[in-house]
Amino acid sequence: MQRQRSLSLTRSRIFVLALVCVCTFPAFAQGQQTMPGILAPASTPAHEIYVLSQFVLLITGAIFVVVAGLLAFVIIKFRARGSDGEHEPAQIYGSTQVELAWTVIPVLIVVVLFLTTARIIFAIQDAPEPHSALDVTVVGHQFWWEFRYPKFGIVTANELHLPVSTPSAPQPTYLQLLSADVDHSFWVPQLGGKTDLIPNHPNEMWFDPQRPGLYLGQCAQFCGIEHAKMLIRVYVDTPDEFAAWVKAQQQPFAQPDAQNTAVSAGRRVFETEACVNCHTIYGTAAKGTFGPDLTHLMSRATIAAGIAPNTPENLRSWIQDPNTLKPGALMPAMQLSDHETDEVVAYLTTLH
């Protein structure tokens, strides 16, 4: 009796959980997502992938219903009864019709899924690049993203800005994907599928973001200890916002206020320590390429590939010991004194 109650309670909980999932799915799909997900596509490739996933779910769901229904029917109809005793049920051997059915039907299902998937893959990959497209070069590093805009002469990191694409003014974005070290994978689910970045093997992908907003992504290929914290932030801007961002990023290095001794001292510390070997600040002696370009550091909302807000306090913690924010990061602790750290932070916060 106790076992029956337990089974009944378990079934009730499963039913309630399934009901909640079904009821909340449409709202989740239409609402603002705070983590990467495919349920609210915002570009043509993402929409095609979403439709394909619905088609596959429909077919596999139908298979599940049929198999589960037949299984339930057999279990109920042929369950053991008290009058059966130890007798074995009648055995049936061989049925050409049944064997043909469970061979031909799965083959047809696989063929349909294969052809549908291939059609969508080729439709996305073979789409011609229009003259109005924006070209961006994406370079994956351990463990951050570098974004280059050849047309505008802009280099930035971790936060990708794109113009919105509308039917009246289409402006898709074509990404050339490169890797500086190991395999990575660029994935922003609401904008497109996963595409790998493989050393010495350039890849390409594209999307046409149709709604302004922030879209989150992730490196989807294990690339080392801090793979999980190699995040992507894509800002889809209106035409005016994107033009303003481009203009701001094209501005030369902002000279620090000569009257601010902390800022001037911070620049001296930055340029005399190992910082210049890894980072670039245009117009200064810092021309390193191993770390993110810092010319307009404070125009970014986050640091350390999206894992922490870009605040002076977090910058200070990052400079003192990156492992406090991102264990396994390749940037070394700079071994600066507290006073020197404060001066470097004062300098970096002027880089808008």
At 250-289, the pLDDT tens digits run 988 666 665 678 888 999 999 998 899 999 998 888 898 8
Is-same-fold flag (34-75+96-250; 261-348)?
yes
Neighbours of 243 (CB within 10 A): 12
Class of CATH domain 261-348? mainly beta
- Interval 170-181 mean pLDDT: 95
Q: Higher model confidence: residue 11 or residue 238? A: 238
Of 278, 291, 292, 275, the residue nearest 347 (C-alpha): 275
Parse the chain into domains and list their residue ranges. Answer: 34-75+96-250, 261-348
Residues in the chain: 352
- Interval 176-200 mean pLDDT: 96
Of 48, 32, 45, 43, the residue nearest 165 (C-alpha): 43
pLDDT at 26 over 70: no
- Interval 204-211 mean pLDDT: 95
Provide the percentage of residues in the chain whose pLDDT is more than 90.
65
Q: Does domain 34-75+96-250 have CATH number 3.40.50.720?
A: no
pLDDT at 21 over 50: no
Centroid of chain to Cα 191: 9
Respond yes or no on whether the N-terminal peptide bond of residue 73 is cis (omega within 30° of 0). no
pLDDT of 110-131, one tens digit each? 999 999 999 999 999 988 998 8
